[in-house]
Amino acid sequence: MVLKAFFPTCCASADSGLLVGRWVPEQNSAVILAVVHFPFIPIQVKKLLAQVQKASQVQVAVLGTWCHRQQEPEENMGHFLEGLGAIFSHDPWLQLCRERGTRFWSCKATYHQMSTNLGTPTEDQVMLIFYDQRKLLLSWLHPPAVLPGCQDGETTASTGGLADIFDTVARSEVLFQNDQFDEGPVRLSHWQSDGMEASILVELAKRASGPVCLLLASLLSLLSAASASWLWKLWPLSFIRSKLSTCEQLWHRLKHLSLIFSTEKAQNPMQLMRKANMLVSVLLDVALGLLLLSWLHSNNRIGQLANALVPVADRVAEELQHLLQWLMGAPAGLKMNRALDQVLGRFFLYHIHLWISYIHLMSPFIEHILWHVGLSACLGLTVALSILSDIIALLTFHIYCFYVYGARLYCLKIYGLSSLWRLFRGKKWNVLRQRVDSCSYDLDQLFIGTLLFTILIFLLPTTALYYLVFTLLRLLVITVQGLIHLLVDLINSLPLYSLGLRLCRPYRLAAGVKFRVLEQEAGRPLRLLMQINPLPYSHVVHTYRLPSSGCHPKHSWGSLCRKLFFGELIYPWRQREDKQD
Amino acid sequence: MEDEKSFSDICGGRVVLRRRYYSPYCREFGLSSARLSLRSLTAVTCAVWLAAYGLFTLCENSMILSAAIFITIIGLLGYLHFVKIDQETLLIIDSLGIQMTSSYASGKESTTFIEMDKVKDVIINEAIYMKVIYYLCILLKDPGKPHEISQVVPVFQGYSEVLQASLYLKPWGEREDRYPFFETFSNLPGQWHSIYNTTVLLLHGPCEHLCTYTDTHKGWRYSLGGRSILSIVQGPGLVPSISPKLNRRLTLLRKIEK
């Protein structure tokens, strides 16, 4: 195999010295991490390497020499460097040299141990691969190589070659703390040689985050304890809480906030990204909510909304009354059973009348209620949207009631019909055996059964029509609510921080690497440039999606149609109590 | 060292295969096709705008014309950015891996790099479509289980339409040295000795039939040139018994269970 030397681009212009890095024998590759400059004392270099090895669990060693002839006038440096091979023995010993007058490098790798029978050291072909040390240090590879049984104290087994290299560079951060401009005994050159990177704001934020997190965590734990107390488990409150989506959303946000401000540090990059995503999501939510709040409270929009609300409710009720009058006549040319029609129609009309009176009763207070509810938008846009969804549910409560009445009636009719149909044919449902058995009926049973059957069947179109109309209305309301929930879900679960990172710092999220062959001359070693291949956006969203508390409809289309046909009630927004996070 | 060869595809267009030899252990193969032709672009634009103008004369709504312009521009940008592949390159670096790059007409480049540990073999697949067609693909293995094949990755995906037609025009039995395209792959260093040894039986979606004498248990489904293809990998030795029957265009076959 060809010997692969991974060389950091930042060291390409460094002065001559020793190459320090890690040798991976399984892949025959040498990962060079830094260059030690002259003058140095070999004992101190070895001491430093031992320290780094202990601190980072990476087997750093001196791999060879680096000679930058373009900068030095004297030629005897070459002999000096060759002599160093005797002091720091490493097999193979690399000698990289950047020569004067040409852009191409010369590389030599000599093996001393393996050539005992030959007597002379054997050489090997070298392939140079340049990599950007800073980017490799900061990025993390997806999917992360799962090393079985790897803990902090153990040395890592070699996994796929690239994951290994990423790992090596990331874990050698200890080596990068000393620089060639420092006053220490050993002068190193690596990516920090261009200047140590730090930012005052980041450092201040890090110092301040400790006490702030403690304070907020304690406040949030108080809140969570209050909301989890036994008071909420009592019957009316728990029922209301399970039905309102606002409570669910608030609870969800509370959980997020307590996770963000928890005092334990993130164990791995995944958790860190999750925290960051949650924080950005909450901030965006609150920002949009405040925007909505400012829009609502300007120009007296609340007043306009409140004034428009009652006429709208009136209008809806009027339309419903027209609809019922239409149904009580001859809707779409169908002939209804006059008596049943009148009964059902009058029943529903009375309900609408009650509802209208209720709305009129509430109308003086609506503006105040809306004003206070609008204030809740400062908790976030998602909370405002959930409240909107709940208001729609409350305002269309009469439609829900009508749907339930119609569905129950229809359901009863269908079951009655199916059972009497069996009687008509002389069969019976056997509950014990869960199947249909033949049965001999008495004459009077048959007579009454057939009579009832015909009555029910002739009343079927009327009931079916009412059921159909109210089911369609209910489905319409459910669709509107569903769209609102979808929007809330989107805001909750979109990983904005990860997307922003992918946009601005694509090297942080790496899907792999890509190589580019650099200009080459015959007889010279091959030079490649290794760059980071960023993760595609779809993978970013898929990997870092936040778990949403959304109540997704659990029925498939087939079961939904079946339920509609048999008149069973559909509950699309069941709150999931056992949702795992 | 660099050389170029031209082939022609179904439509008579020109496809250029470019080989570059950087070093004994590093080679690059690039396939580039003709650019977007002005004729087809003009034809499509005119068709869309004529349709829009026809709608406009019916509806008298000028939004239709602006919408047609938008659609044309966005459609063209989308086509250039997501669909039209200008060039596909295969870079093989011994002991490091195989890299496949597709560069689109808008300049976007999408790269995949497969490490050498994961590559089991590079083989020639054959597909029974209306005729017998062949293409190159890479078999991947899981490093933990070196004897099983984990995935099949076709090479030069954007060109499968092209390659299927012109480069593999020989009937099955005479394939050994008559495929100029494969000859370029035949003298790769080191590990590619098995290029002609293993072949794969490949069947196309709607006519999912199977030769009765194969008893493979596993197939891989992937898409090639826009078609969904189910492929079964066999070891060497089965090939001679398949070929005479394949040549006679089998139609009586059994359905595959995946």
Chain B residue at shortest CA distance from A524: B23
- SS3 (DSSP) at A323: helix
Contact across the interface for A517 and B26, Cβ inside 8 Å: yes
Mean pLDDT along residues A226-252: 78
A vs B, Cβ pairs < 8 A, gives 49
CB A525 within 8 A of CB A94: no
Residue A297 C-alpha from the chain's centroid: 34
Q: What does B45-84 look like in DSSP terms, one character per residue?
A: HHHHHHHHHHHHHHH--THHHHHHHHHHHHHHHHIIIII-
**Residues β-bridged to residue A534:** A510
Give whichever of A159-168, A244-253, B221-230 has the largest mean pLDDT: A244-253
- What distance in Å separates the CA atoms of residue B62 and residue B56, rounded to the nearest whole number? 7
* Residue A256 tokens, joined: 């997020």
Q: What is the pLDDT of residue A334?
A: 77
The C-alpha of A24 sits at a distance from chain B's nearest C-alpha, in angstroms, of 13
Q: Looking at residue B226, what is its pLDDT?
A: 44
- Out of A160, A515, A520, name the one closest to residue B93 (CB): A515
- The CA distance from A243 to B221, in Å, is 45
ipTM of the complex: 0.74
Q: Return the structure tokens found at A426.
A: 């002389």
CB-nearest to A2 from B25, B111, B115 is: B25
Residue A262 tokens, joined: 């928890």
Eight-state DSSP code of residue A12: G
- Answer for the pair A16, A84: CB distance below 8 angstroms, yes or no: no
Torsion angle (degrees, nearest 10) of CA B178, B180, B184, B190 = -10
B144 touches chain A (CB under 8 A): no
Q: What six digits make up the tokens of A172? A: 């050698």
Phi, psi for A337 (deg, rounded to 5): -75, 115
Three-state SS at A540 = helix
Distance in angstroms (rounded) separating the CA atoms of residues B119 and B98: 8
Task: Say which residues have a Cβ less than 8 Å from residue B252's Cβ, sequence separation at least 6.
Answer: B209
Signed CA dihedral, B115, B119, B124, B125: sign only: negative
Cβ <8 Å between B93 and A520: no
Worst-scoring range by mean pLDDT, A308-322, A384-398, B8-22?
A: B8-22
The encoded tokens of residue B194 equal: 């098995």
- Biggest CA-to-CA distance, chain B: 70
**What length is written for chain B?**
258
Query: ω into residue A143 within 30 of 0, thus cis?
Result: yes
Q: B115 and A161 in contact by Cβ < 8 A?
A: yes
Residue of B1, B68, B9, B37 lying closest to B225 (CA atoms): B9
pLDDT of residue B199: 31
Enclosing H/E stretch for A428: strand A427-430
Distance CA A198, CA A192 (A): 11
Query: Cα–Cα distance between B236 and B196 in angstroms, integer?
Result: 9
| Strands B85-93 and A188-189, sheet pairing | unpaired
Q: Do B95 and A27 touch (CB under 8 A)?
A: yes
Q: What is the DSSP letter of A155?
A: P
8 Å CB contact of A2 and B94: yes
B161 at A interface, C-beta within 8 A? no
Picking from B117, B169, B114, B171, the residue whose alpha carbon sits closest to that of residue B145 is B117
Q: In angstroms, what separates the C-alpha of B116 from chain A's closest C-alpha?
A: 9
Contacts of B233 (CB under 8 A, 6+ apart): B123, B139, B149, B152, B198, B200, B216, B218, B220
Q: A206 CB contacts (<8 Å, ≥6 apart)?
A: none
- pLDDT value at residue A233: 73
Contact indicator for A260, A275 with CB cutoff of 8 Å = yes
Reported confidence tier of residue A194, pLDDT bands at 50, 70, 90? low
Contact status of B95 with chain A (Cβ, < 8 Å): yes
Look at residue A499 in the predicted model and tell me its pLDDT.
94
pLDDT one-digit tens code per residue, A31-86: 988 888 877 788 888 888 888 888 888 888 888 888 887 665 556 666 676 677 77
Tell me the average pLDDT across A219-237: 79
Which tokens is A242 given? 């399970």
Contact B125, B154 (CB under 8 A): yes
**Does pLDDT of A581 surpass 50?**
no
Q: What percent of chain A has pLDDT over 90?
A: 11
B193: Cβ contacts below 8 Å, ≥ 6 apart: none
Our CA-based measurement puts residue A9 at a distance from the nearest CA of chain B, in whole angstroms, of: 19
**Contact between A2 and B22 using a beta-carbon 8 Å cutoff:** no
Three-state DSSP class for residue B136: strand
- Answer with the residue of higher pLDDT: B207 or A385: A385
| Residue reference for tokens 């014990």 | A432
pTM of the model: 0.77
Instruction: Calculate the alpha carbon distances from A450 to A152, A337, A362, A439, B232 in Å.
Output: 80, 19, 51, 15, 63
pLDDT in tens, A477-519: 999 998 998 999 898 889 999 999 999 989 889 888 999 998 8
The beta strands (E) that lie in A99-225 are given as 105-111, 122-124, 126-131, 140-141, 188-189
Angstrom distance (rounded) from CA B125 to CA A450: 70
B189 min Cα distance to partner chain A (Å): 11
**Which of left, alpha, beta for A51 (phi over 0: left; psi -120 to 50: alpha)?**
alpha
**Nearest Cβ partner for B111 among A127, A161, A533:** A533
B66 touches chain A (CB under 8 A): no
Contacts of A95 (CB under 8 A, 6+ apart): A64, A65, A67, A81, A82, A107, A108, A109, A110
Query: Which amino acid is residue A425, in one-letter code?
Result: R
Q: Which residues pair with B108 in a beta bridge?
A: none
Strand partners, B91: B28, B99
First to last CA, chain B: 45
Higher-confidence residue of A147 and A134: namely A134
Among A90-104, A259-273, A567-581, the range scoring the smallest mean pLDDT is A567-581
CB pairs under 8 A, 24+ apart, for A26-29? Answer: A26/A158, A27/A1, A27/A158, A27/A161, A27/A164, A27/B95, A28/A1, A28/A2, A28/A3, A28/A4, A28/B95, A29/A3, A29/A4, A29/A5, A29/A161, A29/A165
Mean pLDDT of A309-334: 83
Angle (CA) A42 A43 A44, round 5°: 90
Report how far residue B122's alpha carbon sits from residue B155's, in angstroms, rounded to the nearest whole number.
10
pLDDT (tens, 9 = 90+) of chain B, 258 residues, equals: 777 777 655 445 667 778 788 887 788 888 887 788 899 999 999 999 999 999 999 988 888 899 899 999 999 999 999 888 888 888 888 778 889 898 888 888 989 898 888 877 666 565 555 555 556 677 777 777 777 667 777 777 655 444 443 333 333 333 443 344 444 444 443 333 333 323 333 333 222 222 222 333 344 445 444 444 444 444 433 332 233 333 333 333 222 222
